Amino acid sequence: MIDARFSDTITRHLIYALGTDPDHATLRDWRIALSLAVRDRLVDRWLAASHAARKAGAKRVYYLSMEFLIGRLLEDAIVNLRLEDEVRAALSALGLSPEAVIQDEPDAALGNGGLGRLAACFMESLASLGVPAIGYGIRYEHGLFRQSFVEGRQVEEPEDWLTQYHTWEFKRRNVRLRLCFGGEVVEEAGKAVWRGAEAVMAQAHDTPMIGWQGRWANTLRLWSAEPLHGFDLDRFNRGDYAAAAEAEALARTISRVLYPDDTTERGKELRLKQEYFFTAASLQDILHRFEDEGGALADLPKKAAIQLNDTHPAIAGPELVRLLHDERGMPLDQAIETARGCLSYTNHTLMPEALECWSEDLMTRLLPRHMQLIERIDAAHAAENPGRKVALTAHGEVRMGELAFVMAHKVNGVSALHTDLMKQTVFAELHRMHPDRIVNQTNGVTPRRWLFSANPRLSRLITGAIGEGWVCDLDQLETLEPSLRDPAFLDAYATAKRANKADLAAWLAEAHGITVDPEALFDVQIKRIHEYKRQHLNILETIALWREIKANPNGPWVPRVKIFAGKAAPGYAFAKEIIHLINDVATVVNADPETNRFLKVMFLPNYNVSLAERLIPAADLSEQISTAGKEASGTGNMKFALNGAPTIGTLDGANVEIRDRVGEENFFLFGMTAEETEIRRAAPDHARQAIAADTRLGGALKAVSQGVFSPRDRHRYRGFVGNLTGHDYFLVCSDFTAYWDAQRRVDAAFADPGVWWPMAARNTARTGWFSSDRTIRGYMADIWGAVPIDPA
Ligand code: 26W
């Protein structure tokens, strides 16, 4: 009997792996035992896949990223191995609730936001497409901080996912690599030799990345830092206990914690150490594998496609040249060419404060040989491009974007608009010099996690209509088009969304004591808090709406629930003020008997991958309201559209391509274009003019500055309002009226199910292109030249 066997397997792991008897087992014990039982089902395919890749002498993709925002892995493995029914049956035989067991797993929060989650979606798509690949990153002991609120203010606590048994990783005790920092470069026999002053060991931990139907599996190799020499017994015996453990503590610092900034580089030495640590360990590992498989160095580009996820691993350029030239004797210009043949670089932001620059002093002190090689690479590039006007160093700083560009054979942006803006702004000069180096690869999201797994009701409806092929060929969603004219299908579509909303309402009541009406419009803005993402535009519109309802409490208002979630970088004061204001507004508005049947506001704490999986299937409206030209792509926008939540948004990032595909009539567009923002920003007093022209905006700003939402601290938001009425760099005031009008168009559409549900369903049917499978196919064709391997 199937389930008997599987429930027995689970129980066997509980007893023999955890040494626990079923009568005394906790939910966590059962979750770990189940994970081990599921793991049994994927290890063979994992080992078979890496064997097949080796046997085929396949070109491998190496994805270097400081962040992998994985979330939970148990459900992902169950779904990709098609074990849902077997697991559900086994757990109910053991008297356990599948939901409770799944939710017991901590998120692997090894990332800040978009960049980290994209890396995770890419790893899942590479495995589902059967492309041999290894993801390389850091095994942070502490991922992105836990967020909670104290009197509406964000408070950060260390995240400690590793305090419990991490069932999905395998420590590779035989993969430990020695790395150096500091020291000097000496001349020996005419060769440059780097004598590092400080050494640390990189210890590999492998996590399987299983693909759809379990056909293929790749590896995520995360490095942890360990001391060269363990515990110092002599010092201990001399009673110098702290010193005895010092080396260990110092070494581990490198992989201790993820930097929580996602737009501002802080130039911290430890951050550069982290970047060099995982990049150097990964390149050494790549070369060892290549040489073990008998490759000739000059052929490395034929076997290794190394993708740099933003500039964070950009030191890979000089490091690979060092490994080829200094350590393996390849002539310098050939080493530079060979490295360029392997390397390609993705840019994820145009925000000047996010473009990494390291001081030459710090680079010289920490990585003296690399600083020399950066100058050699710069000189070689100058020689090849006489009259050029860019340099890799300027004002005593090394510009990592330029270094990554010069050392890459391909550079890509993450949406069509973003790639164009890269060519016109940050890389204009380099684009003129290398006109065919920049290509676009519009982002995507994995349909397994973000539709099939997160939204089973809608998935079943889609499969019922067009079969299950869409899960690994999302373009098939367009074959839903005929069903969109079928009232029965639209009814079932609405029913699925309503049921998801009812689930969310139940969870909000149980987990947060918040009651919401599932019939209301669920308006959701979930992403990192940043001025360019304009959560403050959203809350100002919310305040104006509240005031309008108060002025006319019996008006034909469309009940709306405003849901916010997202973390602010701990050092980003303005973002923290935005969070505080939203919580303060929620307190006042939700307690207002005149309006709270029409309007509820909430800020859910500790936004992460698992919370996104819970919110997106229940959303009606997707808020993508960034100042045009600032959001490189966005990926949440794609997840919402696939799950039937039309977008209210600007022509920014991938919103442009979403609107092109769903049709302008199924997208609530507002606001200035990227070009128009440049013009408006140049207009003196643009904010004051906008405020003068819109009394709703003026009224809302006055309410905030007068302390309506901070009665016990009336001046709390004086500075906040001052910034908006003065500088307002992100044009919140100038886009307000258009945003308000767009929201009223949303109300009108939502109030008419005959309009709303076809619009929602079209968003699902027409956004299959935003699968990360399509994105990966683009990288394979335009950048990597890698191909899928048949597992047989
Ligand atoms: C040095 C600090 C730092 C850390 C992370 C600076 C910048 C970053 C990331 C590049 C920020 C990020 O996550 N960018 C987002 O990347 C997504 C994936 O391509 C895009 O969809 C988002 O638009 C972009 O903001």
pLDDT given for residue 266 in this prediction: 62
Residues 276-287 pLDDT 10s: 999 999 999 999
Active site residue 639: yes
Cα of 429 vs centre of ligand 1, distance in Å, is 23
Ligand 1 nearest-atom number relative to CA 271: 1
Residue closest by Cα to atom 21 of ligand 1: 634
pLDDT above 70: residue 265: no
Say which of 13, 41, 497, 533 is annotated catalytic: 533
Closest-CA residue to 736 (of 560, 593, 572, 537): 537
Measure 126 CA to ligand 1 centroid, in angstroms.
21
pLDDT tens for 19-45 read 999 999 999 999 999 999 999 999 999
The residue whose CA has the least distance to atom 8 of ligand 1 is: 262
Q: List, for residues 763-785, the tens digit of each pLDDT value.
A: 999 999 999 999 999 999 999 99
Judge contact between 617 and 640, C-beta under 8 A. Answer: no
Nearest alpha carbon, ligand 1 atom 10: 348
3 state SS for 641-665 = HHCCCCEEECCCCCHHHHHHHHCHH
CA distance 76 to 526: 22
* 447-770: CATH class: alpha beta
Q: Which of 122, 348, 625, 776 has most ligand 1 atoms within 8 Å of its beta carbon, as the pocket-test mutant?
A: 348
| Ligand 1 mean position, distance from CA 769 (Å) | 22
Q: Crossing angle of helices 695-705/718-725, nearest 10°?
A: 150
Per-domain boundaries in the chain: 1-56+76-106, 59-71+111-139+164-443+777-784, 447-770
Q: pLDDT tens digits for 368-421?
A: 999 999 999 999 999 999 988 889 999 999 999 999 999 999 999 999 999 999
Ligand 1 atom with minimal separation from the 653 CA: 23
**438-440 and 621-624 strand pairing:** unpaired
Q: Cβ distance 632 to 413 under 8 Å?
A: yes
- 146 Cα–ligand 1 center, Å: 20
Q: 346 C-alpha vs ligand 1 centroid, how far in Å?
A: 10
Q: Beta 393-394 vs 68-71: how paired, if at all?
A: unpaired
- Give 475 Cα–ligand 1 centroid separation in angstroms: 27
Percentage of the residues of the chain whose pLDDT score is greater than 70: 99
Atom of ligand 1 nearest to the CA of 414: 19
How many Cα atoms within 13 Å fall on the side-chain side of residue 355? 19
Catalytic residue among 60, 166, 527, 661: 527
Taking all residues of the chain, what is their mean pLDDT, rounded to a whole number? 96
Task: State yes or no: is 348 an active-site residue.
Answer: yes
pLDDT in tens, 630-657: 999 999 999 999 999 999 999 999 999 9
The protein residue whose alpha carbon is closest to atom 1 in ligand 1 is 265
Q: Counting atoms of ligand 1 from 1, which one is nearest the CA of 67?
A: 5
pLDDT tens readout for residues 188-239: 999 999 999 999 999 999 999 999 999 999 999 999 999 988 778 888 888 8
In this prediction, residue 1 has a pLDDT band, given cuts at 50, 70 and 90, of: very low
Atom 3 of ligand 1: nearest residue by CA position: 262
CA neighbours closer than 13 Å in the CB half-sphere of residue 560: 25
Query: Residue 66's closest CA among 273, 351, 264, 336?
Result: 273
- Rounded to the nearest angstrom, the distance between the alpha carbon of 120 and the centre of ligand 1 is 14
- Residues lining ligand 1, judged by CB closer than 6 Å? 112-115, 118, 261-263, 265, 310, 348-349, 354, 356, 414, 443, 631-635, 653
| Residue of 45, 340, 614, 639 with catalytic role | 639
Protein residue closest via CA to atom 17 of ligand 1: 114
Query: 686-707, pLDDT tens digit by residue?
Result: 999 999 999 999 999 999 999 9
User: What pLDDT does residue 5 have?
Assistant: 80
Residue that the structure tokens 């939901």 belong to? 99
Rounded Cα–Cα distance for residues 581 and 591 (Å) = 16
Enumerate the H helices of 665-717 as residue ranges: 674-682, 686-693, 695-705
How far does residue 450's CA lie from ligand 1's centre (Å)?
20
CATH code of the region 59-71+111-139+164-443+777-784? 3.40.50.2000
Atom in ligand 1 nearest the alpha carbon of residue 118:
18
Of ligand 1's listed atoms, the one at least distance from the Cα of 635 is 21
One fold for both 59-71+111-139+164-443+777-784 and 447-770?
yes
Pocket test for ligand 1, best of 308, 347, 349, 421 (most atoms within 8 A of CB): 349
Question: Which residue CA neighbors atom 22 of ligand 1 most closely?
Answer: 634
CA dist., res. 253 & res. 161, Å (int): 17
The predicted model scores a pTM of 0.98
Separation of CA 569 and ligand 1 centre (Å) = 13
Nearest CA to ligand 1 atom 4: 262
Ligand 1 center to 349 CA (angstroms): 6
Given ligand 1 and candidates 65, 262, 415, 527, which is best to mutate, with the most ligand atoms within 8 Å of its CB?
Answer: 262
pLDDT score, position 300 = 98
Burial of 754: CB neighbours in 10 Å, binned 0-12, 13-18, 19+? exposed
- Let me know if 528 is a catalytic residue: yes
Pocket test for ligand 1, best of 274, 310, 345, 450 (most atoms within 8 A of CB): 310
Whether 478 shows a pLDDT value over 60: the answer reads: yes
User: What is the amino acid identity at position 386?
Assistant: P
Of the candidate ranges 150-154, 231-235, 525-529, 627-631, the one whose mean pLDDT is the lowest: 231-235
Distance 439 CA to ligand 1 centre (A): 18
- Taking the alpha carbons of 620, 80, 767, 464 in that order, is the dihedral positive or negative? negative
| Catalytic residue, candidates 45, 528, 536, 560 | 528
Å from CA of 704 to ligand 1 middle: 31
Atom of ligand 1 nearest to the CA of 117: 18
**Candidates 348, 410, 534, 600; catalytic one:** 348
pLDDT at 2: 46
Report the pLDDT value the prediction gives residue 792, as an integer from 0 to 100: 59
Catalytic residue among 364, 635, 647, 677: 635
Residue closest via CA to ligand 1's atom 5 equals 262
Q: Kindly write down the DSSP assignment for every residue of 381-425, as one continuous string.
A: HHHHSTT----SEETTEEEHHHHHHHT-SEEEESSHHHHHHHHHT
Q: Could you report the per-residue pLDDT of 101-140, keeping only the tens digit for each? A: 999 999 999 999 999 999 999 999 999 999 999 999 999 9
